Amino acid sequence: MAVLPVKCSKCGNTVNVDPEKHGLKCPSCGTWVNTAMALQKQHPKWIELLAQEKKLKEEFNRLCGYEGSYESASSRTKRILMKYKYVIIMLTVDIVCFIIRIALYGFTPPSSALEVLLIIAMLILSFAAYLLPMIIESVRERSEEINGINYAREARPKLNDKMNELQKDKEAYLKKYGQIDASQ
């Protein structure tokens, strides 16, 4: 177990603190030595390494979020259909009404170019109003998801390297400034 030497704030005696523990009583005067506070003052470089480690761990968690966000195609389709269910119902009603009209009155071909244009404009507008937002959302979500997964795939090995390097830095620091405590 590696320990770092710090000075007791009351008697000035050197106390070996375990960086993993909250603190301990100074063996010579009994004052409580708080590990975090003592290290902050006397081993700022160590605290900096811990801060870097925390950041890397957060980044790891973020990557796990990307990797875990993969949603199967069927579950996405279902979710988007449920979100737009009223739009889909309205669209279905429209189509059914159109079919009933043809069934009742027969299909009359448009009599002028203007009428053809109006029908096309109406079709485009209803398509835009009903379906376009749904399609755009689906495509956007999918591409965000793929970007996230690709990013995670690319970033993970680099992050692993950084983490290994940091562990080595920590070990090197303990070797240089710390001592091996045989009693633990």
Q: Footprint of Zn ion on this chain (CB under 5 A)?
A: 8, 10-11, 13, 26, 29, 31
CA angle 181, 2, 50 (to 5 degrees): 155
Residue carrying structure tokens 């404009």: 121
Nearer to Zn ion, 15 or 63 (CB): 15
Q: Which is nearer to Zn ion, 2 or 6 (CB)?
A: 6
Q: How far is the CB of 9 from Zn ion (least distance, A)?
A: 8
Shortest CB 43 distance to Zn ion, Å: 18
Q: Which is nearer to Zn ion, 39 or 152 (CB)?
A: 39
Closer of 3 and 63 to Zn ion (Cβ)? 3
The structure tokens 């999918």 sit at 142
Using a 10 angstrom Cβ sphere, with 0-12 exposed, 13-18 middle and 19 or more buried, the burial of residue 156 is middle
CB of 23 to Zn ion, least distance (A): 12
Cα–Cα–Cα angle for 155, 73, 83, nearest 5°? 110
Minimum separation from the CB atom of position 13 to Zn ion (A): 5
Apex 159 CA angle, 153 and 160, nearest 5: 95
112 sits in the region (left: phi over 0; alpha: psi -120 to 50; else beta) called beta
- Report the distance separating Cα 52 and Cα 102, nearest Å: 71
From the CB of residue 149, how many other CB atoms can be counted at a distance below 10 Å? 16
Query: Cβ of residue 4: shortest distance to Zn ion, in angstroms?
Result: 16
Measured from the CB atom, the residue of 31 and 52 that comes closer to Zn ion is 31
